Amino acid sequence: MELPRNQALFHGSQSIIEKPLIGISNPYNDYGPGFYCTMEEELAKEWACSETVDGYANCYSLDESGLRIMHLDGAEYNILNWLALLVNHRRFRVSNDVAGNARAYLLDAFLPDIKEWDVIVGYRANDSYFAFANAFLNSVLSLTQLQEAMYLGKLGLQTVLISEKAFGQITFIGHTVADHHVYYPLKMARDQEARRIFRQQRSLEQALDAVYVLDILRGGWENDDPRLRRNLFE
C-alpha cells in the first residue's frame, strides 16, 4: 500500500475556499483551467490582495500518492514547451504574420500533451512576465533575452491541479489573512521589477548570432535542440 505523500500548498484569493471545485476556473490562465497554487505562503498573500481589500492565503494539503505530476521545470522540458502552453491558453497580441506563424509553429513543435497528467508544476507568468513571452513572439526579444529575463525575474513555481483525481486529493487546512497594506505594495514592487528587467533586456545590444523567433521557424528547430535551456533557474 502506497503511503500518502503530502505537499503543503497555498492559494491566494479574496475568498476562503474550503472546497476547490473543478471546471469553474478561468480557461485563459497559464495552463488552462485548473486550481492554481504555490508552495510559498507569502507569494499567495501577494496574489490575494487588491489595492484596497485584504485577501486570504488558503492552505491545503495535497496527497500526491498516485498522481501523475508533470514537472515542467525539469530537464526534459525547455522554455519553448512552457511558452507553447502559454500561447495555447492565454491571449496574445499578434501584431504581424511572423507572430501568427510563430504561434502556430510553437503549438505544433513544442506543445506538451497535458491530458494524461493530474498536476502541473511549472513557472508562473503574471501579466508583467507574460509581456516577455509576448515580446519574444512578436520578435522584440531574442531567445537569449527571453531566457535571461525569465531567469532574472525568478518567476517561482506554481502547482496546478487539472484532473478530478487531483481535486479529490486536496484537503483544506485553514487560512491566514493577507493585509493589503503589506502585500499589495510587495505585489507592485514585483511588477515594477519585472518592467525594469524588460526595459533592460530591450535596451541591450544584440549579439550577431542572436536568435529570434523567425530564426527558429526558418531553422526548423525541434524539441530536442541543444540550444534550448532546459531549466530556467539552472
Most confident of 73-82, 158-167, 212-221: 158-167
Selection from 1-15, 32-46, 77-91 with the highest mean pLDDT? 32-46
Alpha helix segments (H runs only) across the chain: 41-48, 79-89, 97-109, 127-137, 143-153, 164-167, 180-203, 213-219
Burial of 134 (0-12, 13-18, 19+ CB in 10 A): buried
Section 87-103 average pLDDT: 79
Mean pLDDT to the nearest integer, 78-94 = 84
63 to 73, 108, 170, 172: CA distances (angstroms)? 20, 34, 6, 12
183-234 pLDDT, tens digit per residue, is 999 988 888 887 787 777 767 666 667 888 989 999 999 988 887 876 655 5
What's the mean per-residue pLDDT of the chain? 86
Q: Above 80 in pLDDT, residue 120?
A: yes
What percentage of the chain has pLDDT greater than the value 70? 87
Q: State mean pLDDT over 91-101.
A: 75
- What is the arithmetic mean of pLDDT over 131-141? 82
Query: Are the C-beta atoms of residues 152 and 204 closer than 8 Å to each other?
Result: no
Q: Can you give the pLDDT at residue 1?
A: 45
Residue that wins the pLDDT comparison between 9 and 30: 9
Higher pLDDT, 120 or 92: 120
Mean pLDDT value across residues 145-157: 72
Residue 32 is classified by DSSP as S
**Confidence band for 26, pLDDT divided at 50, 70 and 90:** confident
Query: Does residue 3 have a pLDDT over 60?
Result: no
